[in-house]
Amino acid sequence: MLSLSTGMRQSLGVFMPAITQNIGVSVSQFTLAIAIQNLTWGLMQPFTGVLVTRVGFKTVMVVGSFLYLLGIIVLAMANGVVAVTIGAGFLILGAILARSSS
């Protein structure tokens, strides 16, 4: 219910024990990926607004949805800290930026 009501981004902590045990990453490595996501989200907000103005809202949302799907797939198939950082840190970030530009 948490994922449905607030979104996957706010509920990744619920999955942290399973992710850290199954993938073999430490809690600090997982939270580093989420920290990268949050810091970059704040820094990229102005640039995403400009992108929406230039290419349109629909295009940014479609690309963001694709990045979110790709990020979840990479995170689900991750087998180390690099894949977790790419999936949860950077790819899901693209979807967050697209959603927050609306």
pTM > 0.75: yes or no: no
Query: Residue 80's pLDDT band (boundaries 50, 70, 90)?
Result: confident
Q: Residue 19 pLDDT more than 80? A: no
Q: Residue 9 pLDDT more than 70? A: no
Q: How many CB atoms lie within 10 A of CB 97?
A: 22
Give the percent of the chain with pLDDT over 70. 79
* Residues 27-56 pLDDT 10s: 888 888 878 877 877 887 888 888 888 998
Domain residue ranges in the chain: 26-100
- Three-state SS string across 36-62, please? HHHHHHHHHHHHHHHHHHHHCHHHHHH
- Tell me what pLDDT residue 102 has: 55
